[in-house]
A and B are shown apart, each in its own frame.
Chain A
Amino acid sequence: MSAHNYLEVKKLNVSFPTEDGLVAATSDLTFSLARGETLAIVGESGSGKSVSSLAIMGLHNRARTNISGEVILNLPTGSLELLSSSEDTVRDLRGKEMAMIFQDPMSSLHPYFSVGAQIAEAWLLHNKGNKSDGLKRAIEMLELVGIPLPVERVHDFPHQFSGGMRQRVMIAMALVNNPSLLIADEPTTALDVTVQAQILKLLRDMQKEFNMAIILITHDLGVVAEFADRVNVMYAGKNVEEAPVRDLYYKPAHPYTLGLLRSIPRVDQIDTHRLQTIPGQPPSLINLPMGCAFAPRCPYKELVPNNLCTTKNPELSNFADNHLTRCHLTHDQIESVR
Chain B
Amino acid sequence: MLKFVSRRLLSSLIILIVISATVFIIFNYLPFDPARLACGKHCTPEIVSGNRHRLGLDVSWWMQWWEYLKGIFVGRTYGQGAAMFTCPAPAFGYSFNQHACVSTILASALPVTVSLAIGAFIMWMFLGVGLGVISARFRNTWIDRASNIFVLVGTSLPTFISGLLILLFIVLKFNLISPLDLGQWHSPLTAPWEWFTSFFWPWLSLALIYAATYTRFTRSNVIETSSEDFIRTARAKGVSERKVLWKHTLRPALAPILTIAGLDFAGLLGGAIITEQIFQLPGLGRLTLQAALQDYDLPIIVSTTILAATFVVVANLIVDLAYAFLDPRIRVK
Contact = CB atoms under 8 A, between A and B. Distances in A.
B328 A159 contact: yes
Nearest to A63: B140
Interface stretch (A98-106, A224-232, A245-253, A277-285): A98-106
B233 A109 contact: yes
B329 A159 contact: yes
Nearest to A103: B229
Contacts, number: 64
Contacts of B237: 94-95, 99, 121-122, 125, 173
B233 A110 contact: yes
A307 interface: no
A159 B239 CA distance: 22
B329 A94 contact: no
A95 B229 CA distance: 16
A263 interface: no
A100 B236 contact: yes
Contacts of A59: 232, 235-236
Interface in A149-167: 157, 159
B240 A91 contact: yes
Interface in A80-108: 91-96, 99-100, 102, 104, 107-108
Interface string B284-302: 0000000000000000000
A110 B234 contact: yes
B328 A102 contact: no
Nearest to B240: A91
Contacts of A100: 236
Determine which residue in A96, A104, A112 has the highest number of CB atoms from chain B within 10 A of its CB, and name it.
Answer: A112
Nearest to B235: A59
Contact of B229 (A92, A108, A112, A125): A108
Interface in B53-68: none
Given A112-B252, A159-B329, A107 B228 contact: yes
A21 to B, nearest CB: 19
B7 interface: no
B36 interface: no
Nearest to B232: A59
Contacts of A157: 328-329
A114 B328 CA distance: 9
A102 B228 CA distance: 12
Determine which residue in B230, B234, B251 has the highest number of CB atoms from chain A within 10 A of its CB, and name it.
Answer: B230
Nearest to A99: B236
B327 interface: yes
B239 A125 contact: yes
29 contacts: A59-B235, A91-B238, A94-B235, A94-B237, A95-B236, A95-B237, A99-B237, A100-B236, A102-B229, A104-B229, A107-B229, A107-B230, A108-B229, A108-B233, A109-B230, A109-B233, A110-B230, A110-B248, A110-B252, A111-B328, A111-B329, A112-B326, A112-B327, A112-B328, A121-B237, A125-B237, A126-B238, A159-B328, A173-B233
Interface of A: 57, 59, 91-96, 99-100, 102, 104, 107-112, 114, 121-122, 125-126, 157, 159, 170, 173-174
4 cross-chain pairs, A with B, having the tightest CB-CB distances, nearest first = A95-B238, A107-B229, A95-B237, A94-B238
Interface of B: 228-230, 232-240, 248, 251-252, 326-329
Given A109-B230, A110-B234, A125-B239, 10 more contacts: A57-B236, A94-B235, A95-B238, A99-B236, A110-B233, A110-B248, A111-B252, A112-B326, A122-B237, A125-B238
